[in-house]
Structure 1
């Protein structure tokens, strides 16, 4: 099945759980994203793959206009209800593909994308599109889950994410992101790393994972090597996986 059809199917049925998800709603990474952005109040901002709308909502009070874009109609509708419920009227909602943005060149002062690019099958095309729709010297604020540089850690994290969520494509290494951005005409201005604790039950339930698949995934995690368990701080109590730790990077890049 096409990965983008998978994304629409998966997030269509999980839309409201993403609006209420604490890791999306309350993450300190969102506050860091705002702190890193240079804003005078006159900017037009595009939030790509807006999801539950948390990033668009956070920036709506700070800029002139926000365009919230998502591939999944149900997700976009949930974001619209959330943001308009908070009283913001300067947010436009648009269905669209991150790898083929439906906007003319040089339209936006700022582009944000938070906890989404690991679903994009052609992430390099996404980076090209962000560069295209930004004005000269425009800001790109990227926030996503990353994998460590070591291949064993990369394989473990991407494997468990794919088992939990078939619409997951790939979490990239930090070095891969830096290379993609610089090759596509961006300068990296600022980068921060965050540790993220995933509670196993809520992490699985957010994707409506069936009990048998949840159990199979738990077995896979428990069979991981001691080195991997230590790296990801896997917590197992009474033979039950309780939590593990991943990482995310928030970075600011400027269009050359």
Structure 2
């Protein structure tokens, strides 16, 4: 096995470990089911009754289920079976039947060309070692005239703050590769020949103790993670607007929804 193959295998092992352990927490996390944020994504994707939608790295299926309420068919794909088990549970509880769940690789989607009207990915690009390849696959399976949507948190344009943010996130979740600045995400679309995306901004609020207790940090370093978050208040070191309030630290993940229409006739 080459060194690059070994690194890729190690990252995939981290993905399986982190998301198998986080599956139930993710499924029950209120911020993932925030109706305002889901409405923002659904409105941006604009699903219609004849549309087929695909959500890659779907996790517990929240976006896929939300799309299914408006689309003809909604498919969720994830690498982790534990996440898909939670997705099936949530879909059953919601009484949504026009959903399908597939286990697969975001770099080699198990679908033919141009078979989905909408292709989405929420809060997963920072886990991708090859984000351009994932976006290329999203574009491949999208019909001409279809919508390609990427949602993720973004790192600060200040390199020092971006580095501090990613250092904290890599400790908090070792399956993280990197949160990228907005300009980097926009450049991915341009390099794949996709039109400049429409950009919608929002924030995901967070609180230090909930972040710490819901995480599985590297080497179980909960104290180190707590200290990183606390220390970031000085000078807003991570670009997350961290502040002390009521004995804890409040902060927020700056996030974007990017929507591009694949060139060609619908």
Aligned to 2:226: 218
State the aligned residue count.
255
- Structure 2: 5+ residue runs without aligned partners? 1-8
Displacement of 1:38: 3.0
Aligned to 1:4: 12
Q: Which structure shows the bigger proportion of residues in strand conformation?
A: 1
Aligned to 2:76: 68
Q: 1:218 to 1:19 in 2, by over 3 A?
A: same
Supply the distance in 1 between the matched residues of 2:26 and 2:141 (Cα, whole angstroms): 27
Displacement of 1:188: 2.8
Determine whether 1:140 maps to 2:135.
Answer: no
Determine whether 1:246 maps to 2:263.
Answer: no
Supply the distance in 2 between the matched residues of 1:175 and 1:223 (Cα, whole angstroms): 27
Supply the distance in 2 between the matched residues of 1:210 and 1:237 (Cα, whole angstroms): 27
Q: What pairs up with 1:177-192 in 2 under 5 angstroms? A: 177-192=185-200
Question: Aligned Cα RMSD in Å?
Answer: 2.0
Displacement of 1:230: 8.6
Residue-by-residue CA offset, 1:122-157 (whole Å, 9 max, x unaligned):
111101111111111110111111112110111011
- Structure 1: 5+ residue runs without aligned partners? none
Aligned to 2:170: 162
Aligned to 2:103: 95
Q: Secondary structure at the match of 1:106?
A: coil
Match of 1:126 among 134, 149, 158: 134
Displacement of 1:182: 1.4
Which aligned segments of 4 or more residues in structure 1 are displaced greater than 6 angstroms? none
Q: With structure 1 as the length reference, what TM-score do the two structures score?
A: 0.92
Supply the distance in 1 between the matched residues of 2:135 and 2:235 (Cα, whole angstroms): 34
Task: Please tell me whether the aligned partners of residues 45 and 110 of structure 1 are also in contact (alpha carbons under 8 angstroms).
Answer: yes
Supply the distance in 2 between the matched residues of 1:117 and 1:195 (Cα, whole angstroms): 17
Task: Please tell me whether the aligned partners of residues 127 and 175 of structure 2 are also in contact (alpha carbons under 8 angstroms).
Answer: yes
Q: Secondary structure at the match of 2:221?
A: helix
Q: Secondary structure at the match of 1:188?
A: coil
Determine whether 1:149 maps to 2:179.
Answer: no
